[in-house]
Structure 1
C-alpha cells in the first residue's frame, strides 16, 4: 500500500464521526447508488471516459467504487480520490440514464466523504493530490480525430501545506466574503490596468515562476489565461437593492447576483436586471446575500455550502418574492438543490425546499412569461453552447434557443455537440488543466465549423473557457450571455439606454466604427472646405 493511502487509512481510523460519512449503508446516498443498473448507456456521454477510455473514469465505474467504499470493500485510497476528482461533474450521464440515477448528488457525496477524511489529517501529512496524468494517443473519433489518452501511473504528487492553505483561503475566506472577493478581483484589475501584466509577459517572469519546483509548478499560467479583460469600477458599489419595473409591475423577483458573476461579469448582471424590469419585474437584490455555495458543494466542501445555503435562505425569505432569478447555470443548479443539501436539517429542510422551488434560470423565467416584444434588430449569427448545469443539471435546453430566435435579426446556426462539456466545470480547468484543454480543443473545432460571429452560453465558467479558446486561436468571435443579446435588442428598440461600459464587444466595435466614420467624414469635409477657399 502506498504511503499516501496508508495516511488516509490511518486518518479514517482516528475519526470518531465516521458514522456521519456520506458513503455508508442505510443512507439516502446509498439508495441513490443502488439505483444504477450498470447498463452502460452513460459511457458514450461521459467526456472523461471518451478521452481516457478507462472504466473507472466512467459514471458506471465511479458508482461501483462508491458502493465498494460504502460496503467496506474498498478504502479511500489515492486511486479513489483520483477517479472522483477526474470527473467533470457535467451530469451528461444523467440525461442518458434510463434509471434516473442522480449522479451529480453521488459525486458530490463522494467528494464530501473524501474531504471529511482529509480534514482530519495533520497539516503537514502527505497524501496523493487528486490529479490525472494523460498520455496522448490520437485515434479516429467518428468524422474527426481527437486525442485519446491512456490513464498512466501519475508521478508522486503530494498535497503540500501551501495547497491546503490555498484551499482553505478560497473556500473558507474568499468566496463566502463579498469584501475579500472584491479585493482579490480589484488586485487582478490593477494587474491588468497598470501595465504589470504586460511587464510580466515581456520579461517572461510568469514562465520563470511557473517552472519553479513549487506545489503549483506548471499550473500558474492557466488562471492568468482565463482572466477576461478587467472592466468596470475597481471596487464596484453594490447593485441597487430595489429596482422598480418599467411601467406596471407584474412580478416581484429576487436576484442572485453571485460572487464571481458580480465581480467578473457585472455587465451581465446589469443586463439581467434591465431585461427583467422591461418585462414588468420589480427586482430585489439583497446586499446581504453571499456566495450560493456551488463551488463548495461540487468540490466536496459541503458543510461550508450548507452554511451559505442557510444564510441565503434567511436573507431572501423576508422579501416574499414570486421567483428568485439566477443567470449562472452552475449556481442555479446548486440553488435548486438546497432542499437536498439541507434535507437532514430539521430547522431548514422545508424552508430550503420552498426556496429551491422559487429558483429559476433567467432564460427559464423569460420563456415562461409573455415577453416584451419591443425589440430592435440585432444582426448576429449566433451559435448556442449548452452549459452542462443548465442542460443536464436543470434540463433547460430549448428555452435559451427560443429566446434567441425571438430576437429580430439573429440568425441561429447549429453547433455540433452543443451539450458536450467545454472543460470549464467550475475550477476543473485550473485543477485538471490537461483534460480541460483536451475538451476545449474539441469544443473549439466545433465552434470554428459554425461560421458564427457570436457564441452564446449561460454560464460564466463556460464563457471564460471558450473566450480563452477564441483568443488562443485568434478567432473573430464574441462570447456572450444570451441575456446580453436580449438587452441589446431592447436597447435597439429604444426601450432604454445601455451605459457605455455595459455594451457588448460587438456594440463597442460598432460604436468605434461609427466614431471613426464620423471622424473621417469630418476630415474630408474640412479638406473640401479648404480646397474651395483656395479656389475662390
Structure 2
C-alpha cells in the first residue's frame, strides 16, 4: 500500500471510528493546560497538551493534516493520566479519544519483525495468560534469590542497560513464591458478621509480582465484613492493550472477565489497582458496539469499586484499632483511580484514621508520577523528568512512607526513592499493605 493510500485509509477510519461529537466538545478553553504534565514539562508546547492533541485528531479526521510521525509522537508522549478530564468544563472524554486514535494508527503502522514479535509475545502471549505470568514471575524470583542478581550487580553487567532500566531493576520488589497461589480458595468468608458479598479482581501483575498485596486486600475485605469470591477464570483487564493500540485484544479480555464475574452474583467487584479499575469501569464504552455485551458490559462496570471505597463504606476504620509507630506519611494518587474513578478522599480517610501516623499532603499529589503502564519504558526521558518533579514534592513532606494505590505508581515511586538516595529511610508501599500493617500493629498494641 502506498503512503498516500495508507494516509487516506487512516483518515477514513478516523471519520468512521472517532467520535466527532466528542472532538467538537473541546472548546479550546485551556483549562486542561495546567493539569497536563507533558504540556508543563515540554515547556508548554501546545501539541503536547490535551486540547492540542484533540486538535491534531480532528485535523487528521478532516484531512487538514497527514497522520505523520509528528502526530504519532504527540499521541505517544501523552501519559494517558486523564488529569484533563475532571477540569474540563465540557466533560470531554479525552481518554477514550486517545485510545481510539492510537488504535487506528497502530493498525496501519509498519513495524519491524522484532517489534511485531515483541508486541505479540507481550500482548497476546504473556498478559492474557496467568500461567505464563506466573512463570515470568518465577524466573524473576529465581534471579533475585539464586545469587544471579547479586552477581549481576557486582560484575556491573547491568551497565549495558539504559539508565532507567537499571533503576527499575534496583526498585523491583521481592517477588513472592508463585506456588502458593495454588492454595488460594475461590471463596473467603467474612470475619464476623457478613455485610456484603463481593468479587475480587486479582489482576495480572498484582496476582504475581504483588500477590502479597492481593492477600492483604482479601484479608482486609474479610475484616470489613465481606464474603469474598475470587473467580478462577478471570484474566488481565486489558488496560495495557487498550492504551497501546491493541483494542481488539482488549475487547476479548473484557468479554472473558464479564463472563467470569457474572456467575458470582456479587454486590460489588473490588479491585486494588487504579489502572485496572478505570479500564474495567470503561468496559461499557469498549463494548458499546457489541450487541451481545452492550448491556452486560455496562452492568459489569457499574459494580467496579476500589478497595478504599468499600472499606470506608463499611466503616472499616471505625471498627478496628489501626495504629503504627510514629511516622509521617504522604500519598501519591493513582491517576486513573483519581481521574477515571473519582476516588480521592477514601484512601486519605483510611490513612488519617491510623493512630501514630501524621498524614502530610504532598503538593501536586494528583499529578502523574510518570509510570503510566509501560510509559516509563517507552518514554524514559519524559518519565524521569516527571518523576524528578514528584520526588521533589515527596521530599518536602519528609515522609517515611509514600503510600500508593497502583502497582505502576508503587514501582515508579520506589525507583524515585532509590534515585534520590533515600532508602531505607523512605519507602513506597501499597495502601492495602500499609493498612494491614496498621491492623496487625494495632491489635498487638491494644492487647499489651
What TM-score does the superposition give when structure 1 sets the normalisation length? 0.78
- Give the structure 2 partner of residue 326 of structure 1: 271
Matched, 1:474 2:421: yes
Question: What is the rounded CA distance, in whole Å, between the counterparts of 2:163 and 2:356 in structure 1?
Answer: 45
Q: How does 1:46-65 map to 2 (within 5 A)?
A: 46-52=36-42, 53-65=44-56
| Contact 1:457–1:482 under 8 Å retained in 2 | yes
**Quick check: which has more Rg, 1 or 2?**
1
- Cα distance, 1:270–1:71 mapped onto 2, change above 3 Å: same
Which of residues 179, 201, 205 is equivalent to 1:260? 205
Which of residues 391, 407, 421 is equivalent to 2:338? 391
Question: What is the rounded CA distance, in whole Å, between the counterparts of 2:183 and 2:66 in structure 1?
Answer: 47
Matched, 1:426 2:416: no
Question: What is the rounded CA distance, in whole Å, between the counterparts of 2:3 and 2:153 in structure 1?
Answer: 41
Question: What is the rounded CA distance, in whole Å, between the counterparts of 2:322 and 2:172 in structure 1?
Answer: 32
Question: What is the rounded CA distance, in whole Å, between the counterparts of 2:364 and 2:343 in structure 1?
Answer: 16
- Shift of the alpha carbon at 1:10? 4.5
- Cα distance, 1:242–1:411 mapped onto 2, change above 3 Å: same
| Contact 1:186–1:235 under 8 Å retained in 2 | no
- Give the structure 1 partner of residue 283 of structure 2: 338
Q: How does 1:163-178 map to 2 (within 5 A)?
A: 163-178=115-130
- Shift of the alpha carbon at 1:184? 1.1
- Shift of the alpha carbon at 1:31? 1.3
Q: How does 1:181-196 map to 2 (within 5 A)?
A: 181-196=133-148
- Give the structure 2 partner of residue 483 of structure 1: 432
Q: How does 1:211-230 map to 2 (within 5 A)?
A: 221=166, 223-230=168-175
Q: Which moved more, 1:467-476 or 1:218-227?
A: 218-227
Question: What is the rounded CA distance, in whole Å, between the counterparts of 1:452 and 1:7 in structure 2?
Answer: 57
- Shift of the alpha carbon at 1:221? 3.4
The alignment of Structure 1 onto Structure 2 pairs a total of residues equal to 440
Q: After superposition, what is the alpha-carbon deviation per residue over 1:323-369, rounded to whole angstroms, capped at 9, x for unaligned? A: 00000000000000100100000000100000000000111222222
- Cα distance, 1:103–1:189 mapped onto 2, change above 3 Å: same
- Shift of the alpha carbon at 1:437? 0.3
Question: What is the rounded CA distance, in whole Å, between the counterparts of 2:285 and 2:177 in structure 1?
Answer: 37
- Shift of the alpha carbon at 1:45? 1.2
Which of residues 61, 78, 81 is equivalent to 1:70? 61
Q: How does 1:20-35 map to 2 (within 5 A)?
A: 21=13, 23-24=14-15, 29-35=19-25
Q: After superposition, what is the alpha-carbon deviation per residue over 1:419-460, rounded to whole angstroms, capped at 9, x for unaligned? A: 111100110000000100001111111111101111111111
SS at match of 1:456: strand
- Give the structure 2 partner of residue 354 of structure 1: 299
Does 1 or 2 have the higher relative contact order (CA < 8 Å, sep 6+)?
Answer: 2
Which of residues 197, 213, 224 is equivalent to 1:279? 224
Q: After superposition, what is the alpha-carbon deviation per residue over 1:394-429, rounded to whole angstroms, capped at 9, x for unaligned? A: 111111101111222221112111111110011000
- Give the structure 2 partner of residue 42 of structure 1: 32
Question: What is the rounded CA distance, in whole Å, between the counterparts of 1:293 and 1:271 in structure 2?
Answer: 24
Question: What is the rounded CA distance, in whole Å, between the counterparts of 1:185 and 1:178 in structure 2?
Answer: 10
Question: What is the rounded CA distance, in whole Å, between the counterparts of 1:336 and 1:395 in structure 2?
Answer: 11
Q: After superposition, what is the alpha-carbon deviation per residue over 1:72-114, rounded to whole angstroms, capped at 9, x for unaligned? A: 2222211111110000001111122111111111111111111
SS at match of 1:345: coil
| Contact 1:386–1:418 under 8 Å retained in 2 | yes
Matched, 1:367 2:312: yes
- Cα distance, 1:235–1:165 mapped onto 2, change above 3 Å: farther
| Contact 1:426–1:461 under 8 Å retained in 2 | yes
Question: What is the rounded CA distance, in whole Å, between the counterparts of 1:443 and 1:259 in structure 2?
Answer: 27
Question: What is the rounded CA distance, in whole Å, between the counterparts of 1:86 and 1:8 in structure 2?
Answer: 24
- Give the structure 1 partner of residue 152 of structure 2: 200
Question: What is the rounded CA distance, in whole Å, between the counterparts of 2:76 and 2:435 in structure 1?
Answer: 37
Give 5+ residue unaligned stretches, structure 1.
Answer: 1-5, 122-158, 211-216, 496-536
| Contact 1:183–1:235 under 8 Å retained in 2 | no
Matched, 1:454 2:406: no
- Shift of the alpha carbon at 1:223? 4.8
Give 5+ residue unaligned stretches, structure 2.
Answer: none
Question: What is the rounded CA distance, in whole Å, between the counterparts of 1:284 and 1:236 in structure 2?
Answer: 15
Q: Which moved more, 1:411-420 or 1:193-202?
A: 193-202
Q: After superposition, what is the alpha-carbon deviation per residue over 1:296-334, rounded to whole angstroms, capped at 9, x for unaligned? A: 111121111110000000011011000000000000000
Q: How does 1:96-107 map to 2 (within 5 A)?
A: 96-107=87-98
Matched, 1:162 2:114: yes
Question: What is the rounded CA distance, in whole Å, between the counterparts of 1:294 and 1:278 in structure 2?
Answer: 30
